[in-house]
Amino acid sequence: MIDRIKIKIKWVKSPHFPVGLTLFLTSLLFFYDLFQGRYLLTERDLAPYFIPPRFFWVESLRQWDFPLWNPYQFSGHPFFANPQNAVLYPFNGLFFLFPFDIAFNSVILLHFFLAGLFIYLFMRDLKVGATGSLISGLIWMLGGYLLSVHSLLTILLSVVWTPLVMLFFRRALIHPGIRNEIMTAIFITLSFLGGGIEIVYGNFFVLLIMAGFSLSLRSSDDSHCPPPLAKGGFIFMFSRFKALLIISFFFLIFSAIQLLPFLELWVHSIRGTGISYQEATVWSFAPKDVLLFFLPDAYGYFLDMKKYWSTQCWLKTMYTGGLPFILSLVFFFTHIRKQENTQGFGKGRIFFFSLMIFSLFLSLGQYNPLYPLVFREPLIIHFSSTETC
């Protein structure tokens, strides 16, 4: 009993506890108006697309009827096979603990908190200080992207797991072992069960890039030093991609209960043959939209329906503010004096910069003259919007 009390006291005194508490209270403050009455978040796609299916499958399960089929739309259609309904997503268990409206709002609010917390943990794993990691978590949690996708539950429930996917894959690269590979596969599976298929695509792209840049992802205290290519480095690189294959294998096993029905449905859907180039690029990121990172809706896109369907409006706002860009410039262009830091986290500049360029390359869509060349790639052709990149 005394040992348990000591463990709890030690945990409370750790720097992680006040940070977690700060992120949690901030997420509550961010949605403070929800606590002024019994309100239900219904913006954009929430009311027509996400609330009815969830209400349907929650009520079905309460009546001991597993929702394989939805008879109430389009004269009936497969329901469970569509991962966007997120029937197996663990946090949706809140629907069976609280009234529907409270549970629905709580799931969204909880994922804002988790988004900030997971970024904090990822940055700490990269040996960033507690203050810097907390700032990173707050920027991500309160930024325009997460605010925009709160009404796109498939994206919100899936994208919050990406930091943990990267965290454990990085550990698997530095310290090869089945434990970290299984943990990576588990978090990718959770991302998949959230319903954001495009996010799962993106996660695997990121892991592929991480495997290629694994030499740049070591921290100063990582004792495992990979050999150069001339001295067995090719075997080292093969082990990195082997880790990715192992993760993919476990992901297929863990997600099979949802993945197999989805693949069967996908073959018979309109997405089975891909979407048109025009549809995929309708919300491309225009170069002038860089201003939207600093000024919300600077061009009045949401004031005119014609602009809505001809410009980037998939994200309600991309506003991030100037501080994150200033801090990014400091990271990329400032030399770190401490030798241990120069050999550690600083080397990750190449990886993170390459990741930014890759994302920008895809998100430009119709404004990228090379995009038609990659559009027919089997994975890219199924994206509904370049903005998901």
DSSP conformation letters of 319-330: ---HHHHHHHHH
Prediction pTM value: 0.84
Higher pLDDT, 346 or 97: 97
| Arithmetic mean of pLDDT, 72-86 | 90
Higher pLDDT, 262 or 236: 262
Copy the structure tokens of residue 145.
Answer: 């992207």
pLDDT band at 26 (very low <50, low <70, confident <90, very high): very high
pLDDT band at 75 (very low <50, low <70, confident <90, very high): confident
pLDDT band at 318 (very low <50, low <70, confident <90, very high): confident
pLDDT of residue 346: 46
pLDDT of residue 255: 95
Q: How many domains does the chain have?
A: 1
Give the domain extent around 306: 280-389
The residues, ordered by sequence, that sit 6+ positions from 241 with a Cβ below 8 Å of its Cβ are 211
Cα separation, 297 vs 144, in Å, equals 11
Out of 143-147, 235-239, 295-299, which region has the weakest mean confidence (pLDDT)? 235-239
| Arithmetic mean of pLDDT, 166-185 | 91
Out of 165-169, 316-320, 323-327, which region has the weakest mean confidence (pLDDT)? 316-320
pLDDT of residue 16: 76
Cα separation, 311 vs 366, in Å, equals 11
The tens digit of pLDDT for each residue in 207-239 reads 988 887 765 455 444 444 454 444 455 566 677
- pLDDT at 81 exceeding the cut of 90: yes
Beta bridge partners of 78: 69
pLDDT band at 259 (very low <50, low <70, confident <90, very high): very high
Share of the chain above pLDDT 70, in %: 79
- pLDDT at 254 exceeding the cut of 80: yes
Residue 369 lies in a domain: yes
Residue 370 lies in a domain: yes
Residue 385 lies in a domain: yes
- pLDDT at 280 exceeding the cut of 80: no
Cα separation, 91 vs 168, in Å, equals 21
Residue 94 lies in a domain: no
Out of 190-199, 238-247, 278-287, 361-370, which region has the weakest mean confidence (pLDDT)? 278-287
- DSSP secondary structure code for residue 70 in this structure: E
Mean pLDDT for the chain?
81
Residue 363 lies in a domain: yes
- Whole-number CA gyration radius for the chain: 22
Cα separation, 277 vs 238, in Å, equals 36
| Arithmetic mean of pLDDT, 28-40 | 84
pLDDT of residue 154: 92
The tens digit of pLDDT for each residue in 265-274 reads 888 877 766 6
| Arithmetic mean of pLDDT, 296-311 | 71
- pLDDT at 53 exceeding the cut of 80: yes
pLDDT of residue 11: 53
Instruction: Tell me if 108 sits within 8 A of 153, measured CB to CB.
Output: yes
* CA distance to 12, 51, 91, 110, per residue, from 106 (Å): 25, 13, 10, 6
pLDDT of residue 234: 59
Residue 68 lies in a domain: no
Residue 377 lies in a domain: yes
Residue 357 lies in a domain: yes
